[in-house]
Chains A and B, each alone.
Chain A
């Protein structure tokens, strides 16, 4: 069960290197070594950034032989769902208030 902290994604993307990593992964899934080859940072640094992105729920990883392949988290859909869930929860509560108001007030 993943927890998706609202602030994490924001913080995780506050770093330009991490945005660059995410942009690479948006093209296609890549292993750590491939990312290190494309970006001007070391492999350990890539790993550290990937950990932050993973903790924020923005990427997932999967072992493929000896490599670890990272991809954008398809749970972006889940993040969308969370937004909509919150949206409708608030909208329907307010809808209830409006509906149950006495009928005279209509501005």
Chain B
């Protein structure tokens, strides 16, 4: 397994919906399908907002009013394509240095007027690598490794 191969996640899925609807659901209802344990706030998420423009953010708003901006919208081309950054590091904390963030490209391809193929690529995951140098800082406290691993385990135990 090469490092390059490990640094990309590719997924595709076909939905029985026109391309405009496929794009709209992805960008307007992101919070409805994002796995619930994906929450960096201290409070439950009231809503997830996907700002529909380049330079906008994807952010979670907690029931207590707190906000977590965890992605920057890099391309917004309805109904064909959207690209956003992934500003969450390996220890599940917001990564403030854009050089250490990965990015997600989602393309929508009309197979028929009523069926759309959605191709997702999450790439440059290796850019999060520098986060490993911070392991020595975060390792002893509960916000570092233990939290990360607990969340990692939760992905399996809460899964289908």
Give me the interface of A with B, judged by CB distance under 8 Å. 1, 6-7, 9-10, 13, 19, 22-23, 26-27, 72, 74-81, 83-100, 103
Contacts and interface: CB of A to CB of B under 8 A. Distances in A.
Contacts of A80: 90, 125, 128
Chain B residues touching A, range: 35 or more
Given A85-B11, A86-B156, A103-B21, 17 more contacts: A22-B135, A22-B139, A23-B136, A72-B135, A74-B129, A76-B131, A77-B7, A77-B126, A80-B90, A81-B6, A86-B155, A92-B120, A94-B35, A95-B118, A97-B33, A98-B29, A99-B21
14 contacts: A6-B153, A7-B153, A9-B149, A19-B145, A22-B136, A22-B139, A23-B136, A76-B90, A77-B7, A77-B125, A79-B90, A87-B35, A90-B159, A91-B34
Contacts of B16: 99-100
A87 B135 contact: no
Contacts of B153: 6-7, 10
A78 B6 contact: yes
A90 B160 contact: yes
A98 B125 contact: no
